[in-house]
């Protein structure tokens, strides 16, 4: 009988130490009923029943209905993630439309300005076809019909220079 009482005493001490440690290290937001300090007092001074009450009443269950505060959530359940996806898709569509509009504007400008002011697709200048008696080159005329704004039209900066022309560094292209 002494061995049984000794074994029950050891079991009580182990159970009490485990209940106090569990209460002390348990997440504060999930403690129910009393505050943490009062639960430790109940566990220590109400033998066995205090620990049982802690595990049944005081120890709150994990929130299984929704995600915990720091937990992860599936992407299709997260409203903020889905909203961000819609915003990203709308922004990508706006960028695609703007790039398409820019490409159309570049395509409209390319036939007039790609060859330079006063030049035709055959390679002759507009001044040479207008007649030799005009006396002024087409680029000297501020009201050149090929240049509606009255400014000299430059070649696009991303267009390759013709071989032999001086590039932006002043050296001829190879």
Q: What is the pLDDT of residues 163-172, one digit of tens each?
A: 555 566 666 5
pLDDT tops 90 at residue 15: yes
Query: Could you tell me the CA-to-CA distances from 72 to 65, 78, 83 in Å, in that order?
Result: 13, 10, 17
Q: Which residue has the tokens 């992407």?
A: 75
Domain count along the chain = 1
Q: What pLDDT score does 149 carry? A: 54
Classify residue 32: in a domain, yes or no: yes
Q: Is residue 79 pLDDT above 90, yes or no? A: no
Determine if the pTM surpasses 0.75. Answer: no
Percent over 70 (pLDDT), the chain: 57
23 located within any domain: yes
Judged on CB neighbours under 10 Å (0-12, 13-18, 19+), 118 is: buried
CA distance 117 to 113: 7
Would 134 be classed as within a structural domain? no
Residue 117 vs residue 6, higher pLDDT: 6
How confident is the model over 106-118, as a mean pLDDT?
Answer: 63
Residue-averaged pLDDT of the chain: 73
pLDDT, average across residues 29-47: 88
pLDDT at 131 over 80: no
- Indicate whether 31 belongs to any domain: yes
Please check whether residue 167 lies inside any domain of the structure: no
More confident residue, 62 or 22: 22
Alpha-helical runs (H) found in 26-75: 36-45, 49-53
Q: Is residue 34 part of a domain?
A: yes
The answer as to whether 50 is a domain residue is yes
Domain around 14: 2-58
115: pLDDT strictly greater than 70:
no
């Amino acid at each position: 009988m002494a061995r049984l009482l000794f074994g029950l005493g050891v079991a009580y001490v182990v159970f009490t130490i485990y209940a106090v440690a569990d209460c002390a290290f348990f997440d504060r937001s999930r403690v129910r009923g009393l505050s943490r300090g009062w639960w430790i007092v109940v566990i220590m001074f109400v033998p066995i029943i205090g620990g049982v009450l802690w595990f049944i009443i005081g120890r709150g269950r994990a929130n299984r209905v929704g995600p915990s505060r720091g937990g992860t959530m599936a992407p299709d359940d997260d409203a903020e993630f889905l909203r961000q996806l819609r915003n990203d898709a709308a922004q990508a569509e706006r960028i695609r439309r703007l790039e398409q509009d820019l490409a159309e504007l570049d395509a409209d400008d390319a036939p007039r300005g790609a060859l330079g002011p006063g030049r035709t697709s055959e390679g002759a200048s507009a001044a040479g076809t207008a007649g030799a008696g005009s006396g002024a080159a087409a680029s000297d005329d501020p009201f050149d019909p090929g240049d509606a704004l009255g400014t000299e039209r430059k070649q696009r900066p991303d267009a390759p220079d013709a071989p032999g022309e001086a590039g932006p560094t002043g050296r001829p292209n190879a």
